[in-house]
Amino acid sequence: MKTIAKASRCILGAFLLSPSLLFSPWASSADCRPPGRGETVQVEYVVDGDSVRLSDGRSVRLIGINTPELKPRNRPPESLAIEARQAVVNFLAADGDILFYVDQGKRDRHGRYLGHLFRRDAAGLHSLERHLLLQGLAYHVAIPPNLSMAECFAIAEDTARVYGRGLWLQANSVASREVRRGGYQRVSGVVKSVSLGKVWWINLEGGFVAVIYPENHRFFDPSAVRNWSGRRIEIEGWVYGVSKEGRRQWRVKLETPYAVNRVTDDKVFTWW
């Protein structure tokens, strides 16, 4: 399988998308193209910004996005979690049919069905996930094998980032040396060293580690990953802690290059 480092999203170079590119006719008006054939469904309940329950009882986790937690354990709702859920409610309440599309992976580890939701009206098909990303109410996550719409979602997230919408109006990412908890985060720091063995280890300042496991090597260009050394990068993903030599080490699993950006003078560049 080819790496994601291809012409439109090349990991070997980097540039910041300009507003004129982001708001080209394709990027601004054309919606994402869904995979396969959709199934008409009814949504019974909106759980949060990235999860719904269908009228037939199926619980659905939306592919390609992660929204702020509405009910985090022992904490109040995260910023914009309520707004993200309401945006889903409003999207589904608009005129039109709701269609459910599956991708390659059918269920997550919690047993929820994985899929995309679209609204079909007189103007065409509209992606719920893209709708949330464009408003800055969700982060883009690209997890194999469900990558059919990753490119479109990445452009939507970059649009919100450049224009400072929603989540991108808030504080900058957490410095790698200041990570103190797990969960979905944006973490930035200088890469101190890169080790490409059976498992690829990207060591950031403060002891934070990004890990690329063998099953995901094919999505990355190894020479480009080596070139991360000495550069400041920003990573989006689920942070977790492990015990190492009697201390807590914070890590994040990198599955595709979509989760990694380069930071220069407080500006974020995609690895394209």
Q: State the 10-residue block means of pLDDT for the chain, 272 residues long.
A: 41 35 39 91 98 97 96 88 98 97 92 97 96 97 96 95 91 90 95 98 98 98 96 96 92 97 68 44
Q: Give residue 38's pLDDT.
A: 94
- Name the DSSP class of 128: H
Residue type, 178: E
| Distance (Å) of CA 19 to CA 16, 145, 220 | 9, 31, 27
What architecture (CATH level 2) is domain 172-270? Beta Barrel (2.40)
**How many residues are there in the chain?**
272
pTM score of the predicted model? 0.86
Q: Which contiguous run of DSSP H or E holds residue 189?
A: strand 183-196
- The rounded radius of gyration (Å) of the Cα atoms in the chain is 19
172-270 matches 31-168 in CATH topology: yes
168 phi and psi, to 5 degrees? Answer: -85, -5
What architecture (CATH level 2) is domain 31-168? Beta Barrel (2.40)
Tokens found for residue 72: 């985090």
Q: Give residue 267's pLDDT.
A: 60
Q: Which residues contact 53 (CB under 8 A, 6 or more apart)?
A: 43, 44, 45, 47, 59, 60
Domain residue ranges in the chain: 31-168, 172-270
Q: Give residue 17's pLDDT.
A: 39
Q: Give residue 232's pLDDT.
A: 95
DSSP bridge partners of 113: 60, 107
